[in-house]
A and B are shown apart, each in its own frame.
Chain A
Amino acid sequence: MISKILMTLVTFFCAQTFASEVTVKMTLSPAGSFEAKTTKVHGEVVKAGEKFTAESLWVKTEELKTGIDLRDEHFHKHLNFDKSPKITFSNIEAIAGKGSGTLTVNGVSNKVNFTYKSVSDKKLLASMKVKPSAFKLKEAKYLEIGVDDEVEIVVDMDVK
């Protein structure tokens, strides 16, 4: 059976050689931001007519990298990577620029809506905003610098 996968990832204009990419964008308080990204995206997006579907897309939590080793360690621990090694987006359906699916983070699943656009026949770009607190993630703070309770997930995905 071919899984149906729907996720669009975007990030990085130009010069990216990897086919798929997931980027999680976080805003810091009082100021600043950082991103965690991975190109190791598992699953497939299938196009049938104008509709895109995917049974399951997932990434390994430990594959999300922020560019600073200590920040990676904190990020993975915060997401409870040892108990929930994967972040999964499943039962995805999308048409006419909008879609929805079930996002599972930290063992908690929530229905999430997203928007997308077709970059080309073979590529989709989608983004969604989620609240970490909705996935029972504690407030993230390190040495008085906190992470806002809204993150943007951007997905750049190949389409079959």
Chain B
Amino acid sequence: MKKINTLILLLSISQAYATSDVETDLKKMQLSLDKNNPENVEEIFDNNDSALGKNWMALERLALSFERRNKFEKAIDVYRKLIVTFNQDANKAIVQNPKPLVAENLYTTNKLPYYYYKLAFLNAQLFVSSNKYMPAPERIKYKENAEGYIGLLKKVNADAGEIKLIEDQIDEKIKTEDQLAYKGNWYALMDIISWQDRVYLKNKATGSKTNLLSTAIGSSIGLGRKWSNSKYEFNMEGMYSYATSTINSEDPAVNYIQSSVPVSSIIVGPGMYYKVFSEKVFVGVQLPFSYRKGNWTLPAGTYEFENDIQLGAGYFFQVKFYIGNIAVVSRLGKIFPNPASHWSIGAVYDF
């Protein structure tokens, strides 16, 4: 009998000692959080995890310490453990109940709304901070988990504003990702275009060559396909230009001049725009490849033209800004071997 009593006494003392251990540890954990030393909290927990792991106050503090160190996944694990270990029945009732619980505000009676909020928030943070290097199933898992806990928050009559904040973060992330995805569409363009050509007038009899300079101005129409996201636009376009030109000899000793000469060209090529300054303003470059033909008249005698038909390539710098679905585009550049600049100003319509 005496031995049994001694055993009971020893057990009581050790129980009391263990309880006071947990209380002390809880105080230490709280003090570490207050002093902004969250890493200490995990250390204290680890040193007495068998006892602290059964205490919901310790687990809450541990979860908070993980949160503050941005170890969201670990924090999620702890909050889940809090639900499963201490609130399983109540959680089951909420989950299985198809309708929102409007009878009371559960915040006043248990911790579930708080845990649901934390889980919604932390999963949302993991989704929002995800990038293209995170596997898609993982990203989707965080999003769906966040949405699931948001659903539970609505059932427990949580503050609509707080729910909205989390939903907005998720929506913002989805929107940003959507904006980074490339989308394709067709567009038409029309512009006023001008360039200068170098044509050579060759005297077949003597072999001498005279430089002719032709200045053309006209209009063009074109079609293109573009692929764009919120930052860049890549396109491929082709356009047909019809212009009239005045051409004369650059050598004052040679009298050759002709005006209102029809000149046509086809320009195709890829281009790109960078639109980081604004959603409506784009700057970029295009690499044009051109085929140009002019109907200049040969003078009487044994003459021929060189370069009256020309293939060329070059570059344009281009600026585009949108007013509605229509954009004003201006380009300035050069197509080699033309001796001068090539410019255009016009409008683009997106289909």
Residues of A in contact with B (beta carbons under 8 Å apart): 1, 3, 13-15, 17-18, 40, 42-43, 58
Contacts and interface: CB of A to CB of B under 8 A. Distances in A.
B187 interface: no
A40 B168 contact: yes
A2 B116 CA distance: 19
Contact of B160 (A3, A14, A18): A3
A17 B168 contact: no
19 contacts: A1-B102, A1-B157, A13-B324, A14-B324, A14-B325, A15-B279, A15-B280, A15-B324, A17-B175, A17-B179, A18-B175, A40-B168, A42-B161, A42-B164, A42-B165, A42-B168, A43-B160, A43-B164, A58-B161
B349 interface: no
B234 interface: no
Interface in B157-187: 157, 160-161, 164-165, 168, 175, 179
A93 B324 CA distance: 33
B322 interface: yes
A43 B165 CA distance: 10
A40 B168 CA distance: 8
B281 to A, nearest CB: 12
A14 to B, nearest CB: 5
Contacts of B161: 42, 58
Contacts of B179: 17
A61 B144 CA distance: 31
A62 to B, nearest CB: 14
Contacts of B324: 13-15
B229 to A, nearest CB: 12
Nearest to B164: A42
B162 to A, nearest CB: 10
Interface in B250-280: 279-280
A155 to B, nearest CB: 16
Give 5 closest A-B pairs by Cβ, nearest first.
A14-B324, A42-B164, A42-B161, A3-B160, A40-B168
Contacts of A58: 161
A155 B179 CA distance: 24
Contacts of B325: 14
Contacts of B175: 17-18
B18 to A, nearest CB: 46
A42 B163 CA distance: 10
Given A17-B175, A40-B168, A42-B168, 14 more contacts: A1-B157, A3-B160, A14-B324, A14-B325, A15-B279, A15-B280, A15-B324, A17-B179, A18-B175, A42-B161, A42-B165, A43-B160, A43-B164, A58-B161
Contacts of B322: 15
A40 B164 CA distance: 10
Nearest to B175: A17
